[in-house]
A and B are shown apart, each in its own frame.
Chain A
Amino acid sequence: MPARRLMPTPEAADLLQLVRDVSAKELLPAAADAEATERFPRESFRTLGRMGLLGLPYPEKVGGGEQPYEVYLQVLEELGSVWASVGVGVSVHALSCFALFTAGTEEQRQRWLPEMLGGELLGAYCLSEPHAGSDPAAMRTRAERDGDGYVLTGAKAWTTHGGQADFYTVMARTGDERGAISCFLVPADAEGLSSDAPERKMGLTGSSTTTMRFDGVRVGVDRRIGAEGQGLRLALAALDSGRLGIAAVATGLAQAALDHAVAYAKDRETFGRRIIDHQGLAFVLADMEAAVQSARATYLAAARLRDRGLPFATEASVAKLVCTDNAMKVTTDAVQVLGGYGYTRDFPVERFMREAKVMQIFEGTNQIQRMVIGRALDKGTSARIEADPA
């Protein structure tokens, strides 16, 4: 059974129903095969884009759907419950639009955002480098000022949608001090931009992950987003929201694993009873359900802070940590519930387990989330009692 949901408006409820329909009819039938053959589902993104699902969290005046995170994240969760690669992709697309929306000039936003959010285009976000993942300030890719433009040189590792995206939001060094990093919007057809072959990953194999090479890629000054030196701050702010997206997708993935496990447990018999009738196994399922529900509640609590314009970064880290650790546990337990069958590729739960693993790694490893949370505790967390400003 998919999750029970309480949506804030009838339109949001209709939106979630629509997402569930299109997920069941268009995404689910294609997922297992595309993952097995490592084929990037570009068409699926177009289908979602035409329905207006690639711009949901951005305002209408820049071409978005103007939905609160409370709604947008539940859309991501539904997508993640049928196809993690697509759920992650929609989240990364939103991530790649963040800098322009937040720090772009009015002219830059009007020029590019409506198209970026319109559904036909797909974005990518280039922060990590081969030697600099958790510590992005150690990046080496440079953007040298040259007349009325910049010339980008270096390599960006692990780019989700690498080689498939239509635009790349790229962080590059514009000075030698650690924080001298700026943000650039680079079109896919820029000269000197190329993609390595996709990484051969453990899971999320339908999503392409590549190193992007910048061999003297020239972009105009008008493609620098925000001021020089503002890039790292923008990249990290984008990740606060992006982590909520990953938390939601991980929750959907866990829900899917739980659903498969419950269906199997009601069908499989041992010692003359259904395995769900053995208390020892029913308790495993109960813990899985509790883990999924608490994950959902955790990301929604952070989303509601964000939607009201309140600080939410620590809560986003908590959500990313809880939801992805829970997804790892729930998908592992789902394999256990299916016994030997769970360990085979004839059932999807082993794939879910492989997909859950990466969620603990990207957009800040769960060690980094704990670091963020620990620092917040050191500084002192808020004890304020606030009324909903809405």
Chain B
Amino acid sequence: MNIVVCVKYVPDATGDRKFESDNTVDREGVDGLLSELDEYAVEQSLQLKEKLGSDGGDSEVTVLTIGPAGAVDAIRKALQMGADKGVHVQDDAIAGSDAFATSLVLAEAVKKLPHDLVVCGMASTDGGMGVVPAMLSERLGLPGATLGSSIELDGQTLKIRRDGDTATVTVEATLPAVLSVTDQSGEARYPSFKGIMAAKKKPVETWSLADLGVDAGQVGLEASYTAVEETQARPPRTAGEIVKDEDGSGAKALVDFLVSKKFV
């Protein structure tokens, strides 16, 4: 079975986030890493591979990312966790692509890879639209089982649980399919030191848009439907409001506060 797991290289959320003059995220000047939400996708891919064991024939997990040169760090982390090989789509023309353009590049890359299952995280931790998995399944013409919080594979049938606000639904899809997993699907493993050493020898290919047969005009800031108009730094945290109860009015003050913030 061939699993392709799509991951994103994102700026470290614990650092200061910066933007370029065109309001795209500055990816070059900051420390990046494998998006935490995509670690769950890698984890589920590895678990599926492990469960299939040798019965599933030779399963292989391929990590796919689109991003600047540094994005290979995200691939390497996934390889250290246990994925088998990596594909890095790197092309200057891709910079500034929105979810729509990104899903096009991903779909073309996936088509070039053997794939029974394409696994994504639920959203990126930087852009955070959370629509790429659905767009990808549409572009590939495959069923999309999105936002899975528990994942099972029975032969060619993929079964996921999706926890909504008002109901929990079970979604089934027949392979090949696209799957996205949430941060409830199971903690991602740490790489082991052996994993770090083994990753050195795992193959990573770099593809350009030309390799995918995608025209540069179809991607990038120009070809994107959405663009960030403006960004604003988060206002500094203000001190909380302290309710002092000297005359028995504390409870009312608390209730008024909760009502004013629409918590009750």
Contacts and interface: CB of A to CB of B under 8 A. Distances in A.
| Residues of B contacting A: mostly | helix
Nearest to A53: B193
A220 interface: no
B197 A11 contact: yes
28 contacts: A11-B196, A11-B197, A11-B200, A14-B76, A14-B80, A14-B191, A14-B196, A15-B193, A15-B196, A18-B80, A18-B190, A18-B191, A18-B193, A18-B196, A21-B190, A22-B190, A50-B192, A51-B190, A51-B191, A51-B192, A51-B193, A52-B192, A52-B193, A52-B194, A53-B193, A56-B193, A65-B193, A65-B194
Nearest to A9: B200
A257 B194 CA distance: 32
B121 to A, nearest CB: 18
Interface in B115-174: none
Given A18-B196, A50-B192, 15 more contacts: A11-B200, A14-B191, A14-B196, A18-B190, A18-B191, A18-B193, A21-B190, A22-B190, A51-B190, A51-B193, A52-B192, A52-B194, A56-B193, A65-B193, A65-B194
Interface in A290-308: none
B23 to A, nearest CB: 30
A21 B39 CA distance: 14
Interface string B68-88: 000000001000100000000
Interface in B192-231: 192-194, 196-197, 200
Interface string A21-52: 11000000000000000000000000000111
Interface string B181-197: 00000000011111011
Nearest to B191: A18
A51 B200 CA distance: 17
| Residues of A contacting B: mostly | helix
A56 B192 CA distance: 11
A179 to B, nearest CB: 38
B206 to A, nearest CB: 17
A56 B76 CA distance: 21
A292 B112 CA distance: 53
6 closest Cβ pairs, A-B complex:
A52-B193, A52-B192, A51-B192, A14-B196, A65-B193, A52-B194
A209 B196 CA distance: 34
Contacts of B196: 11, 14-15, 18
A22 B190 CA distance: 8
Most buried by A among B76, B80, B194, B196: B196
Nearest to B194: A52
Interface string B40-83: 00000000000000000000000000000000000010001000
Contacts of A56: 193
A369 B196 CA distance: 37
A165 B80 CA distance: 30
A51 B195 CA distance: 9
A210 to B, nearest CB: 30
Contacts of A65: 193-194
A184 to B, nearest CB: 30
A27 B193 CA distance: 18
Contacts of B192: 50-52
A374 B205 CA distance: 58
Contacts of B190: 18, 21-22, 51
A3 to B, nearest CB: 16
Contacts of A18: 80, 190-191, 193, 196
A18 B195 CA distance: 11
A313 B231 CA distance: 58
B16 to A, nearest CB: 14
A205 to B, nearest CB: 27
Nearest to A75: B193
A53 B200 CA distance: 18
